[in-house]
Structure formats: structure tokens, C-alpha cells
Chain A
Amino acid sequence: MTSITKPKIAHPSLPRNELGLTRRDYEGGMSTLCAGCGHDSITAAITEAVWGLSLRPENLVKLSGIGCSSKTTAYFVSGAHGFNGVHGRMPSIATGANAANHSLTYIGVSGDGDSLSIGLGQLAHAIRRNVNMLYVIENNGVYGLTKGQFSASADVGTKSKKGDANVQTPVDPALLALSLGAGFVARGFSGDKKQLVPLIQAGLRHPGFALIDVMSPCVTFNDHEGSTKSYAYTREHYHAAVEADYVPRAETIAVDYAEGEALVVPLHDGSEVRLRKLELEFDTADRAKAYSYIDAKLAEGEYVTGLIHEVEAPEHELHAVNRTAAAPLNTMPFERLNPGRATLAKLMARYR
């Protein structure tokens, strides 16, 4: 049984979604991050995206690891259960939670340290297992919460606040996800909410593992001159190759695009993402081309943003592969799970 949150006192003119809820109904607790932290902008984008999708708050499950970024699950949709686990291990909690109930929408929020250092293994295997969830990496090139050490996404040559240059090659989450066969890979920038919101919406709707790498500057430890993850540097070097608009099911007919201008990616529930290509060099359905395109751009110091790759293959999703029953396992009545006395008596014959 579900019920809708009683709308908080809201101005009657505030826009409402299909459930009659306003954006306020999707807010969370007060952020305790530094003023100007990129992560807070992503929180706002997630709030907007979930409201726009008219998801029931209680049907969303928020999961995270440890880090400034991982704290943010407390700052949106307070009507959803949240689980702030251990450092780098959110993917396994998400996998287990999803195994228990595949009818809910799972969003994982992590950092570049959480996902690419301590949690690289778990991230990789959640992708391989194709857990149906949206996985957001709030990528700032440093460990914010432990005060600014380089993370595994720090670029070669980028300077720390103290002036040290990073020498190790970075792990790029988008290339990583592509190489592991993720069905949905996107990149955004915390400073570009217009692009980010539809990416999140499309990621939430994707029937399988969806990864969005969001460049999200750390104003306290990585926003200085010489850093390749500062606001200024990112603004200059991010490259919106593809702009995406999420079009809800109800409006798919109404929104009009000129022929040839937009590429329509239909999503399994009837809604769609419409891509407006700013560059025509690659096709989002072609993994190899997407890989080489963003890899080449990275070599030029440019971060390609937008929807990088999407292939809908619901048959490869964890439960589809397992042939899990349609009813969530956590609702399965005991009588259906327990084979009973007579069956046990029969089984015992094998052991005589």
C-alpha cells in the first residue's frame, strides 16, 4: 500500500507534478556542505529530476557511501528511505536491496574517491551485474571529506592546493563504464543544471545500470588556479557534445522537434530522451565509437558531456537474467517460500 505525502504548505501557484506534489515535497534535510560546493547543485538537479518524473517519494531508495558527496542523499527527497553505508561499498548494498525488491527506483550517490579508489571493484561489478539503478559520481578530483588529497580521477599535472602536481594517470568513470559494458553512460557538470536534469531523468528510467559522471568542483580544496577540476577550468573545457531533453510520457507527442534536429531515444515506460547533437561525430548506440570519441577529446583536455552511450537491453538486467519472479522477493508470502513438511520428508530419502 502506498500513500502520498501530505503536501507541505506551499503557495498555490507552485507547479505540481502528476501526483499533485510540488518541488518542496521532494526536498530533503539542510545541506551541511561548504557554500558553493558543486555537490549541492547536483542535489538540486536530482530533486528537480525526481519531481519532474512524478516518482512517489517512498518508491525511491537513496544509497551512498562515505564522503561529502555521499552525504547528499540526506539532502533530497526526505520521503524516501536512505542508506549511507560504508566507504566505497554502496554498490553491494544497492545490489542486495535491489535483489530484495526490484519494484523500487534506486539512486546511488558517490564520490570519485568512494567509487574510483576504495570502491572501484564494487562499482565495476555492479556494472557487470547490471543492477537496475542510477549511479551518480560527484567527481571533484579530490577526497573532500578528508581534506583535499588527490583522488583517482585527478588529471596528470593538476595541482593540489599546496602546489603538488599529480603524476598518476586518472581513471575516467565514463571510459571505465563503457569498457565494462554499461548500458547507459553520461557525463554532466554541476554548473549546467539544464543539461543535468534530463540526464538524471533518463538515467533513472533506464532499465539497467546507468552511470552519470558529474563534474562537481570542490570549492574548498580543488577550485584554485592550476586545478583541472575547478569551476573556471571546467567551464572552459567541458564540451556539451549532446544536449538531452527528457520528455515525459504524457508529452511525447506534444513536444515538437524539427526533423533531423533531434535524435529520439525512447525509454521503456513510454517517455523519451531527445538528443540534440551539437557534434555529429558519434552515435550514442555505438559503444566503440562513443569510447574513442570521448577518449580522443580527453586527450585534447576536453570533457565531453551529455548522453554518451545508451543501449536498452532489459533482458540483460540482473533480475531478467535470474528470471526472478514478478512480485518483489520481500513481499513473497512465507507459504510460497517454504516447501513444507511433506516435501522435506520426501527429500530425506536421498540421505538414507
Chain B
Amino acid sequence: MRTASHSPERLNDFVIKFANVNGTGSASANTLMMKSIFRMGVPVTGKNYFPSNIQGLPTWYEIRVCADGHMARGSHVDLMMAMNIETYAKDVREVRPGGFLLYDSTWPRSALLERDDITVFGVPLARLCNESFDGVRNRILMKNICYAGVLAALLDVDLEVIRNLVTEQYASKPKLVDANMKAIDLGYRYAQENLPCPLPLRIRRMDKTQGHVLIDGNTATGLGCVYAGATVGAWYPITPSTGVMDAYKGFCEKLRVDPVTKERNFVVLQAEDELAAIGMVVGASWNGARAFTPTSGPGVSLMNEFLGLAYYAEVPAVIVDVQRVGPSTGMPTRTQQCDLMTCAYASHGDTRHVLLFPANPAECFTLTVKAFDLAERLQTPVFLLSDLDIGMNDWMVPELTWDDSYRPDRGKVLSATEIEALPKFQRYLDKDGDAIPYRTLPGVNPKAAYFTRGSGHNKFGGYTEDSAEYQEVVDRLVRKFETAKTLVPEPVLEGPGDRRIGILSLGSCDGPIREALVRLAACGTEVDYLRVRAFPFGAAVEAFLAAHDTILVVEQNRDAQLKSLLTLETAVEKRKLVPILHYDGMPMTADFVTDAVLDALGRGTRRAAG
């Protein structure tokens, strides 16, 4: 063991990183650690950096403990749990000076990799577990649980909290509770006897997690679909969106199955590809069900033709795009916001779509419900643009709640009596001046019948190749998009709004930006911050753009797609917009934002600015 000379006390404010091998069951140990800290009232967030692989490749998990409640990825590692020999050299380098590293000392590691500015602890995890457990697989699993025990001792995590969690998790398999607790105790006792417990970085009980939950965005989105009353889900599996359908299906199997007859109030269709998935959603929505499809970039590419049909024939559809990295297959297990343009203008011809931008799992829940209301109100596709960071990582957010007085906005669907009262039904008339026509469903009344087509049609729904008739319909669609501006969620403003400089951003950039704002203020840089929550941009976005001399547009893609949308779709002068771009696939950090903002404003870097 080597002890670094300088280890400042860091209560409830540090980052632990776990370097593991994919498929060894490390996830449950890491989650156990995170939840224990959460239950001790200390804000935490977890980020999983995993490979596109099922077994054998390196995978990392990062827990940020932050008394102030910042949810962004931390920029440094204070404690490394180095369980993967393959990545050991890299993992050692990543620890910040004064930090700690733990490794399995059953097998000695090269002294070359040691650093003298960090503290390295060796714990013979494999040996301890081999002595206490039988079976190869079991020993590997228990080794991970064992290090959770070591960490509990080092970080002063309450063993009782851990025990409760383990008991809850294996409520139906008491034998596993004993085995897991035995492994925890093994590690805990070893650390108590051999290591300087607790460390200067450790946990102290707080009460800052009351009323909060740890949940990932995909689960919240799936739950949103259930609560919105969606009955048809169609999909083709793709990382990182798969969790949405898993959650929807899981909740439905609990909540939407008649306990006596076993009849199900939902259908999940695993399509043959994304073309079929969106086709199913279009068919179901056209026929009056709330239907959705979760996907990611490659899926959206395949869905394009149908999205144009839904736009032009005015059929509702909800598409959840959990964005991943890059063109083509890219990096499926990394995060980006790179589908803004492709979703905004999906399909050939003049098309424009409504997009919603959740910033965290809590908003995934509320905006998913909103997506269904908007799709049916506007009779058009609506995208929920989440991303891998929001979708697959556990975030601490206020508990999801539901207002029982909510009624879904099913839009302008004529009832049997309304149809009966009409002399004649015509599909695409703008009767209310909001450019939204009325629709009817099959099976209700023969007078309600109309022919839905993606080919040229006039305002009566009839086939046309007449220029004026064609144009009349597509011009109304432009006005309908204007109506959309008044219906989509408002942006969120931080700051007084009258500062010279503003940051404009969206989605998962929110956490790092909010944290950066605190730091920028501390070094004398006060800026306003507007987080847009939807496309098309409404009046509040226009006002923000008009009111600021310089607008820093922060986003996670290479080509400044949000900035492009702003220049295309608002009155802003292009020269006022300064792009701040992050696109390496990792979640953004507050350090990145702070430096980039100072740099963009010509105020040197954060460190230089002190």
C-alpha cells in the first residue's frame, strides 16, 4: 500500500469510477453502491460507459456524489475501482492527484503503473471470494459484491442501508440475500482491518434526496406511454432505445392485464424493421389508438418515407428517438444530440416536424405524455428527442407524479353524432382558422368515410394534380406549423433575461450548463440561459434571441444543428450565434462548458480566470 501525502477531505463531493469487464455482473454491485449513498440522503448520479458487446469488453461505471445536487458528469476521478486488468494502465492515469485507486491484489500488478501522487490499495478480492464461495460464476459475481463491501468501509456507507437494499432486491430469493451479505461483510471486514477507514473522501448522511428517485429516461418514457394511454407500441430493437419498449411492456404486463380474464389492453408489435414499425404506428394512430415507436438514428433514417406520408396525410405518430453517436452505425453506446436536423425535416419534399427535447428522465415522462397530446391535436408526427445519456443512465430527479384530472387531448376527431349532424364530411378543411382539420375514424358512420393518401390531394381529400388545389393544402400545413408554435412546451429561462450574453441550449446539456453557470458567476461572468424544449421555436425563443447581443449555442453534435435550426427558423441574425460543440460521445462536463464559454467570450480559460 502507498499513501499519498496530500488527501484533502471531501465530504459528499467526489467521483468513483468502476472499471469492469462486461458481463461479469458488476452492474448490480455498482447500483448497490449508488443506491446506498442515495438512501443516505446524498445526491448521486450514475453514468455507464459500456461497449457495444455482450461479454468480455471493458465497461466503466461512474458515480458522482455531489452534495450540491449537480447531475452532470464529473471531470475527474477521485476513486478508481480498477477491476479490469486490460484497462489498468489507462485507469491508473485517470485518477486525479491526491486520489485513490483500488485493485484486486490476488494477482500482483506491474509497479510501473503506479503513481506516487495517488494512494493505491490492494485488496485480494478473488482470493477472499475463492475461499468463501463455490463455483466459478458465483465467485466472479461475489467478487464484485465484495468490493462494494470494501467501498462501504472506506466511504463510511451505512451497512444497514446496504443490507436493506439487498434484502429488497432478493425478496423472493432469501438465499441470495445471505450470499450477498456474506460477500459484503467479507470486503467490509477486510477493509476495516487493513485499510485506513474511512477515507478523507466519504459519505455523511444528509437529507437532500427526499422526494427524489433514481431513474433512467427510457423507463420514464415507457411509463409516460402507459400514462398517456398508448395502446399500440411498435419497434425494432436498437440501442439505446430498447429500454423504452422494455419498460412499456413491463409496466403494461403489470397494469394493463385483466387479473381475471388475462386480457390485455395493449399490443406490442416487434416489427421486422423500422419501416414497418413506423407503418404500424401510422396505421394504429390513423385508426384512433395512441401509438408510438422508440428508435435511434439509424431507425429514423429508415422511417423517412412514412414520416412524410404522416406529415402530408396528417396522421398522428409519436416517435421516440434516443440519440446515439454518429452517421451510419457510429458508436451505438455513446451519447450525442445529432439527429436534430434529420428529425426536424425528415422525409423528402417540404416537411417539418414537431420535436420535444427532454433534459432529464422526469421530463421524459411529462414530455412523452405531451407528445401524444400534440400529435393528436396537430395530426402530425411528433418526436421525443432523448439521448443515450438521459435514456440509459440513472438520474436523480424529483419523484414522478400524476395529476388525475388530466384528460388526453385526442384532437379533432368527430364523434358519430357530430358526423350525423354534418351534411357531408370533408377531410382537410380549415374550419376553425387554426389550420387543423377534422378527422374521422373507420367503423363509425358511412358518411365519415374518406380516402387517406400521400398523393396530391385537395382540401376535400380528393385526388388532385391541380396546382392551386395542391398548394392550398400545403400552405395550410405551413399555418398549422404556426399553430404548433403556440402549443409546444415553453422554453425555460434562467437569469433575468436582460443580460447582454445568453446561452441557448437543449436536452441533456442542461446539467453541465447549470453547473457551469454557478462557476461562471463566481468568476464574474453572468449570462442568461434559455433551454428550448421544443421545435418549432415559439415567441419566447424569438424574444430571447432578439434581446441578446451574443448567444452561445451549446449542443452535442459536430455540425451545430441547433444553431442551424435557429438560423433557418427564426429571425435571429446569424452573426449573433456562437456555437459551442461537444461531440466525442461522452456526456458533457461543467468544466467543458465553463472553458468553452470563457474562451468564446475571449476571457481566457476557467483556470486562467481563477
Contacts and interface: CB of A to CB of B under 8 A. Distances in A.
Interface of A: 1-5, 56-59, 61, 63, 73-74, 78-86, 89, 91-101, 103-104, 121-122, 124-125, 129, 318-319, 322-326, 329-332, 334, 336-341, 343-345, 347-348, 351-352
Q: Which of the listed residues B258, B281, B444, B453 has the most CB atoms from chain A within 10 Å of its own CB?
A: B453
Contacts of A339: 226-227, 251, 255
Given A344-B400, A347-B251, 20 more contacts: A3-B445, A58-B445, A59-B442, A81-B449, A81-B451, A83-B283, A84-B455, A96-B285, A98-B283, A101-B288, A101-B441, A101-B442, A129-B269, A318-B267, A324-B264, A329-B231, A332-B265, A334-B229, A348-B399, A351-B213
A319 B407 CA distance: 28
12 contacts: A3-B447, A58-B442, A58-B443, A58-B444, A101-B441, A121-B272, A323-B262, A324-B263, A339-B226, A341-B401, A352-B39, A352-B213
Interface in B310-347: none
B126 interface: no
Contacts of A4: 446
B483 interface: no
B227 A329 contact: no
A46 to B, nearest CB: 15
A112 B515 CA distance: 60
A4 B416 CA distance: 12
A86 B306 contact: yes
Interface string B27-67: 00000000100110000000000000000000000000000
Given A86-B454, A330-B441, A334-B229, A99 B267 contact: yes
Interface in B389-414: 399-404, 406-408
Contacts of A352: 35, 38-39, 212-214
Q: Closest 6 CB pairs between A and B? A: A96-B283, A92-B279, A79-B446, A100-B289, A96-B280, A351-B213
A90 to B, nearest CB: 8
Contacts of B452: 81-84
B358 to A, nearest CB: 17
B443 A2 contact: yes
A3 B455 CA distance: 30
A248 B299 CA distance: 46
B141 interface: no
Nearest to B277: A92
Given A58-B444, A84-B452, A89 B306 contact: yes
Nearest to A332: B265
B450 interface: yes
- Which among B255, B284, B291, B403 has the greatest number of chain A C-beta atoms within 10 A? B284
A341 B404 contact: yes
A341 to B, nearest CB: 4
B401 A78 contact: no
Majority secondary structure of chain B interface residues (helix, strand, loop or mixed): mixed
A1 B284 contact: no
A100 B404 contact: no
B287 interface: yes
B283 A92 contact: yes
Interface of B: 35, 38-39, 212-215, 223, 226-227, 229-232, 234, 251, 255-256, 258, 262-267, 269, 271-273, 275-289, 291, 305-306, 309, 399-404, 406-408, 416-417, 420, 440-455, 463
Contact of B442 (A74, A81, A338): A81
A78 B445 CA distance: 12
Contacts of A344: 223, 227, 400-402
Given A2-B445, A57-B449, A92-B280, A97 B275 contact: no
A143 to B, nearest CB: 16
A339 B225 CA distance: 11
A103 B443 contact: yes
Contacts of B306: 86, 89
Given A86-B454, A103-B443, A329-B265, A1 B449 contact: no
Given A74-B451, A86-B454, A338-B229, A323 B213 contact: no
A155 to B, nearest CB: 28
Given A125-B271, A338-B229, A104 B443 contact: yes
Given A94-B283, A334-B229, A352-B39, A56 B451 contact: no
Contacts of A343: 255
A122 B463 CA distance: 26
B28 to A, nearest CB: 15
A63 B442 CA distance: 12
B305 A329 contact: no
Contacts of A84: 451-455
B404 A96 contact: no
A330 B287 contact: yes
Nearest to A331: B288
Contact of B289 (A57, A101, A347): A101
Contacts of B440: 81
B403 A341 contact: yes
B424 to A, nearest CB: 12
- Output the residue of B232, B258, B404, B451 with the most chain A CB within 10 A: B451
A92 B275 contact: yes
B267 A324 contact: yes
* Residue from B275, B402, B442 whose CB has the most chain A CB atoms within 10 Å: B442
Nearest to A82: B451
Contacts of A347: 223, 251
A73 B309 CA distance: 18
A331 B416 CA distance: 13
A136 B109 CA distance: 70
A89 B276 contact: yes
Contacts of B401: 341, 344-345
B444 A97 contact: no
A173 to B, nearest CB: 18
A92 B276 contact: yes
A80 B451 CA distance: 9
A340 B403 CA distance: 8
A97 B286 contact: yes
B388 to A, nearest CB: 19
Given A93-B282, A100-B232, A86 B305 contact: yes
B446 A348 contact: no
A98 B289 CA distance: 10
Given A340-B402, A351-B214, A93 B449 contact: no
Contacts of A56: 446
A85 B453 CA distance: 6
Contacts of A93: 279-280, 282-283, 286
A59 B278 CA distance: 24
Contacts of A121: 272-273, 276
A86 B307 CA distance: 10
B288 A325 contact: no
Contacts of A329: 231-232, 265-267, 289
A19 to B, nearest CB: 11
Contacts of B266: 329
A34 to B, nearest CB: 17
A103 B441 CA distance: 13
Contacts of B400: 344, 348
A318 B442 CA distance: 20
A334 B446 contact: no
Contacts of A330: 231, 284, 287-289, 441
A125 B275 CA distance: 12
Nearest to A57: B446
A100 B450 contact: no
Given A86-B305, A348-B400, A352-B39, A2 B444 contact: yes
